[in-house]
Amino acid sequence: MSEPRPPRHLLRSIGAVFAGLVAIFILSIGTDAVLHAGGVYPPPGQPMATGLWLLATAYRIVYGILGCYIAARLAPNRPMAHALVLGLIGVAISTAGGIYAWDKGPTYGPRWYAWVLVAITLPSAWLGGKLHARRRVTATV
């Protein structure tokens, strides 16, 4: 007797959330690398000015919204739930990063940075899901 396999929609759900997460990581890390290479950011390991941390926060908000939109768009059902699950994963990752970097010094950024990322993650996830819902309504009209 074979073991039951997970329903296909469960695998699609996991894939949707994973795709959104990968998009956020690639865009964030890629933008960081481009800004370092272009001289906007100092070399890795060097402290950055507050304005540069605000810049990083701004594009992470945009990328978080986009990643959660992707998760909602690819979701087999309940797109907002998928966006919010990705948001909860982001909260966990950001919290772990904040705890890790707490006493690491200025090269890991100011203490407020990680906690701002925690605070913006769920609103960004909700907005990404909402943008997808709005797109679906507009497409059916």
pLDDT in tens, 129-138: 999 998 766 6
pLDDT of residue 2: 58
Query: Does residue 39 lie within any of the structural domains?
Result: yes
Query: Does residue 126 lie within any of the structural domains?
Result: yes
Query: Does residue 3 lie within any of the structural domains?
Result: no
Is residue 7's pLDDT more than 90? no
pLDDT of residue 45: 83
Note every long-range contact of 38-45, with CB atoms under 8 Å and residues 24 or more positions apart, other chains counting.
45/107
Which residue would you say has higher pLDDT here, 1 or 46?
46
Calpha distance 84→92 (Å, rounded):
12
Query: Does residue 84 lie within any of the structural domains?
Result: yes
Query: Does residue 2 lie within any of the structural domains?
Result: no
pLDDT of residue 9: 85
pLDDT of residue 141: 52
Query: Does residue 18 lie within any of the structural domains?
Result: yes
How many domains does the structure of the chain reveal? 1
Residue located via tokens 């497409």: 139
Range of the domain at 45: 8-140
Query: Does residue 76 lie within any of the structural domains?
Result: yes
Per-residue burial over 55-78, b if 16 or more Cβ lie within 10 Å, else e, is: bbeeebbebbbbbbbbbbbbbeee
Determine the average pLDDT of the residues in 30-49. 94
Determine the average pLDDT of the residues in 11-20. 96
